Amino acid sequence: MSYKRSDKQRIIDGYLANTGRNLFVPTEFIDWLAGQPDHEAYDLFYGKDDASAAREWRVEQARKFASGLRIVVETSQAKSNVVQIRVQEYPAYISPMAQRKMGGGYHAFSPEDGEAVEELRRQGVVALRTWLNRYGGAFKLLGDDVSGIERMVASYEARQETA
């Protein structure tokens, strides 16, 4: 089951009000929820037997294990007598967003694979949009300029609309 952000906020606010707490501690929430079988979020945390929940946890650990691995690619470009060498770092594996709901998987990344590069860019724009939504306001509040990030996201999204 998937919850919208507003639903999650309502559930946590309700838990805090119900328990008189003003601090959300995940372990305390899970312990409290164990005694609330009629709660709307009960099945999310207790709707599976322990073996199924343990397997899901292990799969998530395997995803985290592969996440963040990097490859380094060195390219050189010769212009007359000058050789320009550029070192660029990329993720070693990427998980295409469109395949995740079907179980997904991680594919080795190659900067020569146009589809893989486009997928990485798409994921980058999602991450930047998420960052702007979460942190952009705090940076703007102090007068920092995040317009470069906003332009990059807008430029990518505009290209997608015209494609």
Q: What angle do CA 60, 96, 127 make, to 5 degrees?
A: 80
Q: What pLDDT, on the 0 to 100 scale, is given for residue 10?
A: 93
Q: What pLDDT, on the 0 to 100 scale, is given for residue 100?
A: 79
pLDDT in tens, 19-64: 998 889 999 999 999 999 999 999 999 999 999 999 988 988 988 8
Q: What pLDDT, on the 0 to 100 scale, is given for residue 41?
A: 96
**Cα atoms found within 13 Å of the Cα of residue 31, Cβ hemisphere only:** 6
pLDDT over 80 (residue 74): no
Of the listed ranges 6-10, 36-40, 86-90, the one predicted with least confidence: 86-90
> With contact defined as beta carbons under 8 Å apart, do 32 and 19 qualify?
yes
> Rounded mean pLDDT of 116-128?
92
> Rounded mean pLDDT of 70-74?
73
pLDDT in tens, 123-152: 999 999 999 999 999 999 999 999 999 999
Closest C-alpha among 40, 52, 50 to residue 15: 40
pLDDT over 70 (residue 92): yes
What distances in angstroms separate CA 137 from CA 147, 150, 156, one per listed residue? 12, 12, 21
**Global pTM value:** 0.58
pLDDT in tens, 101-110: 777 778 888 8
Distance in angstroms (rounded) separating the CA atoms of residues 154 and 129: 9
Distance in angstroms (rounded) separating the CA atoms of residues 95 and 58: 17
Tokens of 43: 């099945």
> With contact defined as beta carbons under 8 Å apart, do 73 and 111 qualify?
yes
DSSP line for 1-20: ----HHHHHHHHHHHHHHHT
